[in-house]
Structure 1
Amino acid sequence: MNTPTDLTLRTHGPQATTAMLDTLTDIWTAAHTGHDDVADAGFTPDALRRQITGHTRHDHFTLVTAHPAGEGAPIGFGYGFRCSPAYWFGLTLLSTISSPVTTVDTLAGLCELAVLPAWQGRGVGSTIHHALVDALATDWASLLAMPGEDRPEQRLYRRLGYHYAGPYQPAPDAPVLDLLLLYQGC
């Protein structure tokens, strides 16, 4: 992986993540400013805090932060954890996916990827993503995204090699998201 020369990456576990919760929330909020559909779908800073706090309990929880070269506060982050396909997709959706991913023991479930607006478009998100997927060390990665091929994050995920696997609705009152899969095994 080629890290832009103006970045330093750091990998963190659950304890450090909990201590950084305010910073992560600030980055996420800035990255989603002006995206009213995200808030309308129920994705808010408070929901993010609850989500991160709950996810730190998973085995192999990993947070990657990007910092300006040298020192400085994070300017982007991504996190995820290893899990079973049954956990990530849910039993109902698992039976509808026509992919070998349904038979693996573990996959990387990526939960968030956010970069401060001033740093977007400079390879920071791709760099964080690659470091996170490498740290989780699975052949398959999956994530959820707001629907719409014209969205910047959807374009990024396609460039990274993700493919649409179907709609995902975690609960009857939850928004329908796009389930994306990445195979990087040999």
Structure 2
Amino acid sequence: MIEGLELRHHTAEQAAGHIDRLVELYLMVYADGGEFHSEDRYRRQLAGHMQRDGWDLVTATVDGELVGYIYGFPLPAETRWWAGIHEPIPAGFTDEDGKRTFAISELMVAPDWRRRGIAKSLHDELLAGRTQERATLLAEPDNTPAQAAYLSWGWQKVTKLRPGWEHAPTYDVLMKDVSRNNGEQGSPPSYWLG
């Protein structure tokens, strides 16, 4: 563990005063990300996501410096999260009720702080104690370090999805069983893969 590393959960209300710091780190991480990773689009995304019931942010700081964060929220019944999903998928795969799936929207660590276990610490802290059955996230197929990390943390690729945001890339859809929350890696339930 990094000396001085502090992980802290924030509700949307608690995070409201830290938006500029969150955006600043996002822009540093995605400096070469093109139009999709623009400040304006990310501020709109963040504002929309923070309105979701159960939104949870975990920040990582070292001596007060924001070095990384992760956030997500349970998918409501009327979610647009699955819009743009590639077929085929198992029947009922995208059915949501607000309690079935926790979606991780962002996980990032400042470039100078990578490969020190911060991303894994953030990931584990956010998912610890979840009451949902499963978690999902979208990963860029060519982001080899992130893909390798997710697979080593027990995530499984299921299909692809292209969100409705303008200039959005096509992502890999990853799923993880969090119903046990015991940290063990295992095979995904059969209905994930058909």
Question: TM above 0.5, one fold?
Answer: yes
Q: Does residue 74 of the first structure (1) align with residue 72 of the second (2)? A: no
Q: Amino acid of the residue matched to residue 61 of structure 2? A: H
Q: Distance in 1 between matches of 2:129 and 2:2?
A: 18
- Cα deviation code 1:10-51 (max 9, x no counterpart): 100112222111101111122223xx3x325x1222211111
Q: 1:147 aligns with which of 128, 141, 148?
A: 141
In the alignment, structure 2 segments of 5+ residues that lack a partner are: 181-194
1:111 corresponds in structure 2 to 105
Name 2:190's counterpart in structure 1. Answer: none
Shift of residue 165 of structure 1? 1.1
Partner of 2:7: 9
Q: What is the DSSP-based 3-state SS (H/G/I as helix, E as strand, rest coil) of the residue aligned with 1:75?
A: strand
Does the 8 Å CA contact 2:73/2:104 hold for their aligned counterparts?
Answer: yes
> Equivalent pairs: percent with the same residue?
28
The alignment's C-alpha RMSD in Å is 2.6
Please give the alpha-carbon distance, in whole angstroms, between the structure 1 residues aligned to 2:123 and 2:8. 12
Matched to 1:81, the amino acid is F
Mapped contact 1:80–1:109 kept (Cα < 8 A): yes
Deviation track 1:131-169 (CA, whole Å, cap 9, x = no partner) reads: 111254323110111123x62111111111111111101
Query: 1:175 Cα shift?
Result: 2.2
Aligned to 2:54: 60
Aligned to 2:187: none
2:68 corresponds to which letter in structure 1? G
Determine the structure 1 residue equivalent to 2:16: 18
* DSSP-derived class of the 1:158 partner: helix
- Change beyond 3 A, Cα 1:30–1:98: same
CA distance in 1, matches of 2:59, 2:148: 22
The residue type equivalent to 1:65 in the other structure is: T
Map residues 85-100 of structure 1 onto 2, 5 A cutoff.
87=79, 88-90=81-83, 93=85, 96-98=88-90
Report the number of matched residues.
Answer: 176
Do 1:30 and 1:116's aligned partners in 2 also have CA atoms closer than 8 Å?
yes
| Aligned residue number for residue 127 of structure 1 | 121
Relative to structure 1, the CA distance from residue 137 to residue 44 in structure 2 (aligned partners, 3 Å threshold; closer, same or farther) is: farther
TM normalised by structure 1 equals 0.82
Alignment gaps of 5+ in structure 1: none
Answer 1 or 2: which has greater helix percent.
1
